[in-house]
Structures are given as C-alpha cells and as structure tokens.
C-alpha cells in the first residue's frame, strides 16, 4: 500500500495535511503532496517552522522557484502603504505571458486569527457560470493590468480608463497547465475590459461573472496563525485580502513558483 500524507478536505475546496514539513519527504509522500496540490488547488499545514531553504525545497516539488529581487523572502505590513492595503481578487502576474504557477506563504509572526487571506476556485467558478455567460467569455480576450498602487481595492472594470503600471492581453478563459482543466482568467483587480465589446457591455458582463465567482459561499477564508503555511495553485485559484493596518504585526515568508518576475505590489 502506498504511503500517503494524512489529510482532510476543507470547505469549499482545498486540503489540510497533518505532517511536520521540516522533515524530509519520502518519494511517495512528495508525490502525494504534489498530487494533493494539483487536484485540490490548496494545501494547508499548521504548526510549521520552515526555513526559507526548506520552504523552497517543498515548492520545488511544484515547479521552478523564482529567485528574483523583490519577489520572494518576507512580506510585512509594517511599512504601511501598499504592503498593508486591501487587495481585490487576483492571481499574481495574471496579466503576463508567464503567470506564477504556485505561491507559498508561511506565517512567521502574526497575531493569531486576526488577519486573513481569501481564496476562490476559478475552475469551479467557470463550471458554475450560466451557459450564456460562459459562452460570451469563450474565445474572448481581455485587457489585463497591474493597477496603480493607490487603486488596489476595487473592481478595475468599473473604471473606463484605469491607470496601469503594466498592461497585457490575455484570454478570458485559460486552461490550467497543471491539470488540464479550464478556469476563469478574468479577475476583479486586473481585468480592465473584454475586447470586442462596448465598455458598458464588458463592465456589466464582468460584474455579473464576479458576483458569482466571489459569492461568499464559494470563498475559503484562511485566518492566519503563526506556523501556518499554505501552498496554492496560482492558476486555479484567485486570492484577496482585507486592510492590514489594524491587525498587528504580520510577517509572512513567501516563495514563488514561476519563470519570470513582475512588480510584487499585487501579491498575497
């Protein structure tokens, strides 16, 4: 019988494993860890104490580690500004040709159960869309942006001419290379408009899609405790967070699985 990691399913998606990840993983456990991530999109482990080197070793099971200044190591809310601002729903680097494959955050020093990160499953979100909405997005391209750091908390599609740090054209529906499943690639933070439509038509369709994708019953909210670590599929899932200015100290250790770097201000 194959040896597997003890785990339980989370609602509405994801899994929590019970294992000391600072210890080496046998090949069968490494395989199971990767398969849990690929199938469920999110793997949570609590009570961990991982060095950056060890966190990178675990993430290397999911793909190449992105080592580039400003796009790894620790994230803290102590500087204020964008590092403590609320972030609308997004997937990191979604507006580029090389979106991050996975992200891992490890809570080094947080006030337990005060700050959180929210997740929604864009694969399941696409499957839930009414046929007419899914059909309107199928084959459609979108203009995606990295918004100005002062405009990270709203729906970008509601602004006719949003200010952008970076821009790109990407499909509205993307096939997840990790499992072959299609997923919504439009997001609240990064989608400026659907191409080939009038701005008003694009805005109204996107708002209808977002209302379904981000409905509370489809959201997994993780309230951070020191020692928590989450590995998630940045293609399958989108994430968001609230205002971090009044949550006490919040220091997370971050590792990115990816091949190219972008401005880090829309992360985590």
Residues 188, 53: Cα–Cα separation, whole Å? 33
Residue 105: the pLDDT is 97
Same domain, 102 and 227: yes
Structure tokens at 106: 């490890």
* pLDDT < 50 regions, the chain: 263-268
pLDDT for the residue numbered 266: 39
pLDDT of the residue at 245: 87
**Domains held by the chain: number:** 2
Contact 256, 98 (CB under 8 A): no
**Residue 49 belongs to domain with CATH number:** 3.60.130.10
Cβ neighbors of 190 (< 8 A, separation 6 or more) are: 90, 91, 94, 95, 144, 145, 146, 147, 156, 266
Q: What is the pLDDT of residue 67?
A: 84
The per-residue pLDDT for 81 is 65
Dihedral angle of Cα 128, 130, 132, 138, to the nearest 10 degrees: 0
pLDDT value of residue 69 = 67
- The tokens describing 108, both together, are 């080094």
Question: 149 lies in a domain?
Answer: yes
Q: Return d(Cα 46, Cα 23) in angstroms, integer.
A: 14
For residue 249, the model assigns a pLDDT of 92
The per-residue pLDDT for 131 is 97
The reported pLDDT for the residue numbered 74 is: 81
Domain that holds residue 194: 121-213
| Cβ neighbour number for residue 134 with a 10 Å cutoff | 17
Query: What are the φ and ψ backbone dihedral angles of 36, each rounded to 5 degrees?
Result: -60, -45
């Amino acid at each position: 019988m194959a040896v597997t990691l003890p785990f339980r399913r989370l609602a509405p998606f994801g899994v929590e494993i019970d294992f000391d990840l600072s210890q080496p993983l046998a090949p069968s456990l490494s395989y199971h860890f990767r398969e849990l991530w690929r199938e469920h999109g999110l793997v949570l482990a609590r009570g961990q104490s991982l060095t950056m080197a060890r966190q990178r070793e675990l993430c290397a099971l999911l793909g190449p580690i992105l080592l580039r200044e400003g796009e790894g190591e620790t994230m803290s809310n102590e500087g204020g500004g964008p590092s403590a601002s609320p972030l609308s729903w997004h997937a990191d680097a979604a507006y580029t040709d090389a979106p991050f494959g996975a992200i891992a955050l490890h809570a080094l020093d947080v006030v337990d159960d005060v700050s959180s990160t929210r997740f929604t499953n864009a694969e399941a979100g696409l499957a839930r869309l009414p046929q007419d909405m899914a059909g309107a997005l199928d084959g459609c391209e979108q203009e995606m942006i990295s918004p100005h750091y002062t405009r990270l908390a709203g729906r970008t599609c509601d602004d006719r001419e949003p200010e952008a740090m970076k821009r790109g054209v990407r499909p509205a529906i993307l096939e997840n290379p990790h499992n072959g499943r299609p997923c919504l690639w439009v997001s609240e933070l990064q989608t400026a408009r659907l191409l080939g439509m009038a701005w008003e038509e694009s805005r109204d369709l996107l708002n209808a899609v977002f209302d379904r994708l981000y409905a509370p019953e489809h959201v997994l909210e993780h309230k951070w405790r020191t020692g928590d670590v989450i590995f998630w599929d940045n293609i399958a899932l989108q994430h968001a967070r609230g205002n971090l200015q009044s949550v006490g100290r919040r220091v997370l250790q971050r590792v990115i699985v990816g091949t190219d770097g972008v401005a880090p201000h829309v992360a985590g």
